[in-house]
Copies of this chain bind each other. A is one copy, B any other.
Amino acid sequence: KMAPGIGGFGGLYPWGDDYLVAGTDGVGTKLKLAFETGIHDTIGIDLVAMSVNDIVTSGARPLFFLDYFATSRLDVDLAEKVIKGIVDGCQQSDCVLLGGETAEMPDFYAEGEYDLSGFAVGAVKKDAVIDGKNIVAGDALIGLPSSGVHSNGFSLVRRVLAKSGLSLHDQLPGNNGKPLTVGEALMAPTVIYVKQVLDIISKGGVKGIAHITGGGFTDNIPRVFPSGLGAKIFTNSWEVPLVFKWIQEAGGIDDSEMRRTFNMGIGMVLVVSPEAATRILAEHQGSNSTYKIGEIIAGEGVVYA
């Protein structure tokens, strides 16, 4: 009854000429930083982003989103900030906030804390689904920039923070005097790639898409292409954001663990034909810039060059 999910980013349900594509996710322990920084009005963007970025990998246009908000004792002001972010996220992904549940669960969550989960449903024509099966050696990997850590790897971030001796209110080291606290850098909301990705897909040549979440390039890119193929990443082809450099240095973390945990500055990877790559790179410059970050090779997994 069910089509196999592609790369497992979203589940596909056949429905007439379409697949309905559904995804669910939370924002993990990034919430702890929301509690500590008091920045609650963008965590809802993260929540929407995690699900809609998953379903757009199959080419699906998000239709609607629902949220689940659980806390021990409802703080209406705080909940409104969270919902505001969810509404913003739905607007950014052009989908309807169709419903939600606010659960008061005494003795489940610490004072002032909460958990969130989100569910997105989208649709894509069956004959237009992006499923990676036409990927061949020589195809290009196009990277779309992230805004920072997005919503994965925060358990490691929190350990690094504890070890660093810095607080969330200290300035991020190495930022050339531009004011930006560690907390602000870490809380930057996840980029919602829906409109940009759907626009690129509409022009042709996109064969596979990987949403770079927990597991980084190393675990997420191989999910989208057939066996017998691998990805070579040109590690100098984009600028790794400062926040990752700080995490790596303050935590004494090696390259391999960084790449298996964080997006390193690229939140979405598109596998496209060489012709499409040339066109996409020319069309997307400036604020919506894209990078050619690698190519498909015979082999397996991800190699870094």
Residues of A within 8 A of B (CB): 1-2, 5, 10-13, 15-16, 20, 22-26, 28-29, 31-32, 63-64, 66-68, 70, 96, 98-101, 103, 105-109, 113, 115, 117, 119, 121, 123, 155
Contact = CB atoms under 8 A, between A and B. Distances in A.
Number of copies: 2
15 contacts: A13-B63, A20-B64, A22-B64, A22-B66, A22-B119, A26-B70, A26-B101, A29-B106, A29-B108, A31-B105, A31-B108, A32-B108, A108-B113, A115-B115, A117-B117
Contacts of A10: 99
Interface of A is mostly: strand
A68 B29 CA distance: 15
Contacts of A24: 66-68, 99-101, 119
A63 B20 contact: yes
Contact of A13 (B32, B98, B155): B98
Contacts of A63: 13, 15, 20
B28 A103 contact: yes
